[in-house]
């Protein structure tokens, strides 16, 4: 028997002002769409903005449904739209922000497991890492250089 150790590393930005202008703009798009989320059940709003290699920005917000789990997370709304509208484009960067209607979220909130798996599918498909920036409503922003950093044991088609 042996033990393996896997490490993940993140860049931490204390404020949005520390981000480059293009990432600030991407996060601003994510914040704007977060406010339009349909979240009557959880009262937890999430916005995602993707920068594609063709220069387009695609956004998505969480869309809940009384027949849980029929809704979709913001990240998957944005990714699936990008895949449908721009199937040849690569996703370069993703900005995610989350806020609660009942209390202020100050810790960076990463994508859920289902979203991580969906992002993994596109990262593997395009054979190019996707930079992921995530934050709460306010406060620090974390940057992951790729989805593999968030999900080191990715499940993909090679296992099928």
3 belongs to an annotated ligand binding site: no
Which two three-digit tokens encode residue 52? 């594609």
CATH architecture of 23-152: 3-Layer(aba) Sandwich (3.40)
What is the pLDDT at residue 158? 85
Partner residues linked to 46 by β-bridges: 98
DSSP 90: P
> How far out from the chain centre does Cα 100 lie?
17
149 belongs to an annotated ligand binding site: no
Active site residue 29: no
In the set 29, 75, 123, 131, the catalytic residue is: 75
CA 157 vs CA 36, 72, 80, 82, 125: distances in Å? 34, 23, 18, 21, 10
DSSP 38: B
Each residue's pLDDT, cut to its tens digit, for the chain (160 residues) gives 999 999 999 999 999 999 999 999 999 999 999 999 999 999 999 999 999 999 999 999 999 999 988 899 999 999 999 999 999 999 999 999 999 999 999 999 999 999 999 999 999 999 999 999 999 999 999 999 999 999 988 888 888 8
Domain boundaries, the chain: 23-152
CA 159 vs CA 1, 6, 154, 155, 156: distances in Å? 24, 20, 10, 7, 6
62 belongs to an annotated ligand binding site: yes
């Amino acid at each position: 028997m042996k033990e393996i150790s896997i490490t993940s590393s993140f860049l931490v930005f204390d404020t949005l002002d520390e981000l480059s202008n293009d990432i600030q703009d991407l996060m601003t798009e994510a914040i704007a769409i977060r406010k339009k989320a349909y979240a009557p059940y959880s009262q937890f709003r999430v916005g995602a903005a993707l920068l594609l290699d063709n220069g387009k920005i695609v956004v998505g917000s969480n869309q809940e449904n009384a027949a849980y789990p029929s809704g979709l997370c913001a990240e998957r709304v944005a990714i699936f739209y990008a895949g449908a509208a721009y199937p040849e484009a690569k996703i370069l960067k993703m900005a995610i922000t989350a806020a609660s209607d009942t209390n202020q979220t100050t810790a960076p909130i990463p994508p859920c497991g289902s979203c991580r798996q969906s992002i993994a599918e596109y990262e593997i498909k395009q054979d190019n890492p996707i930079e992921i920036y995530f934050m709460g409503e306010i406060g620090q922003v974390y940057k992951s250089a790729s989805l593999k950093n968030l999900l080191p044991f990715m499940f993909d088609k090679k296992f099928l």
